[in-house]
């Protein structure tokens, strides 16, 4: 079974998508992210990835009220990222309903702070964000390069207790060109114990099948859903079929 995690990216309180992290490429898909989340839930979705793009750019949480609305009015398990730079931001995220947070820039720039959060809140609540372009980690809403290579970055943190990694191939994100399956397989080859969440490039249900067959534990998808390349009905049928062939419980 592969875990399906739709993404809701937020700018100005609206559900949007970017291409390759470019804010100038913004397309608004829905004025009401709660409406989108409820529709996901109605089709059997259990998990949600929320990205505060305003927060990523501003370097502090901005859209926490949207998080609170979705968390309080659905039963979705939410991980939240974007703009989490301080203890205060982290507390705001958890107090407004995030069960997990995705941390990328802080992990790259302030490792001691990230490790303190890992120890304080537990590895089950912390997802290491690895936004990668041409093998290098990008930070701050993909606006800057960190100068760190992907595998050494991941390895150092997994040795220190990280168990979940969300890896986004920036070159493919929002481009509907298919996932970087080889990249994810390579990560699992060197780090087989990690719960790897693949992100970027999903264009069809066949892409999700490909990742599942490659042994990738989870996948985030966005534009393919919003533009109808994958329908929620199709996704629901895929999940139900996978459940029939799995001993794992859904939701």
Segment 207-242, tens digit of pLDDT:
999 999 999 999 999 999 999 999 999 999 999 998
pLDDT grade for 67, boundaries at 50, 70 and 90: very high
Task: Locate 1 and state its tokens.
Answer: 């079974």
- Give yes or no for residue 16 having a pLDDT over 70: yes
Q: What residue ranges in 66-217 does DSSP mark as E strands?
A: 77-81, 100-103, 126-133, 136-139, 144-149, 164-169, 195-199
So what's the pLDDT on residue 248?
Answer: 61
pLDDT tens for residues 128-177? 999 999 899 988 666 677 789 999 999 999 999 999 999 999 888 888 89
For 96-131, the three-class secondary structure string (H helix, E strand, C coil) is CCCCEEEECHHHHHCHHHHHHHHHHHCHHHEEEEEE
- Coil, helix or strand at residue 213: helix
Nearest alpha carbon to residue 176 among 204, 208, 201: 201
172-189 tens-digit pLDDT: 888 889 999 999 999 999
Position 249 pLDDT exceeds 70: no
Residue 55: helix, strand or coil by DSSP?
A: helix
Strands 136-139 and 218-221, sheet pairing: unpaired
Of these residues, 79, 89, 131, 207, which one is catalytic? 131
Q: Is 169 a catalytic residue?
A: no
What would the DSSP string read from start to end of 19-33? ETTEEEEEEEEES-H
Q: What is the CA radius of gyration of the chain?
A: 17
Q: Is the C-alpha dihedral spanning 177, 195, 7, 233 positive or negative? A: positive
- The answer to whether 197 touches 203, Cβ cutoff 8 Å, is no
- The pTM of the full predicted model, rounded to 2 decimals, is 0.94
Secondary structure of residue 39 in the 3-state scheme: helix
Give the mean pLDDT of 48-76.
96
**Domains of the chain by start residue, with CATH:** 3-244 (3.20.20.70)
For the question of residue 12 being annotated catalytic, the response is no
* Close Cβ partners of 229 (under 8 Å, ≥ 6 residues apart): 176, 203, 204, 223
Mean pLDDT of the chain: 93
Q: pLDDT for 187-205, tens place per residue?
A: 999 999 999 999 999 999 9
pLDDT at position 115 over 90: yes
């Amino acid at each position: 079974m592969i875990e399906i995690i739709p993404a809701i990216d937020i700018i100005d309180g609206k559900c949007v998508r970017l291409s390759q992290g470019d804010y100038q490429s913004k397309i608004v898909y829905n004025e009401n992210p709660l409406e989108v989340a409820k529709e996901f839930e109605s089709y059997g979705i259990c998990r949600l990835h929320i990205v505060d793009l305003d927060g990523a750019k501003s370097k502090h949480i901005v859209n926490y009220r949207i998080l609170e609305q979705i968390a309080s009015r659905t039963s979705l398990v939410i991980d939240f990222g974007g703009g989490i730079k301080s203890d205060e931001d982290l507390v705001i995220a958890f107090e407004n309903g995030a069960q997990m947070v995705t941390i990328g820039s802080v992990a790259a720039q302030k490792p001691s702070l990230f490790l303190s959060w890992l120890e304080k809140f537990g590895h089950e609540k912390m997802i290491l964000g690895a936004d990668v372009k041409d093998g290098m980690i990008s930070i701050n809403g993909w606006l800057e390069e960190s100068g760190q290579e992907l595998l050494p970055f991941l390895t150092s943190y997994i040795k220190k207790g990280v168990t979940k990694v969300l890896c986004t191939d920036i070159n493919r994100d929002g481009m509907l060109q298919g996932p970087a399956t080889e990249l994810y397989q390579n990560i699992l080859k060197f780090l087989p114990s990690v719960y790897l969440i693949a992100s970027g490039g999903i264009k069809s249900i066949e892409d999700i099948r490909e990742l599942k067959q490659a042994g990738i534990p989870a996948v985030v998808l966005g534009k393919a859903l919003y533009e109808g390349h994958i329908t929620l009905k199709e996704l629901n049928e895929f999940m139900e079929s996978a459940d029939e062939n799995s001993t794992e419980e859904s939701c």
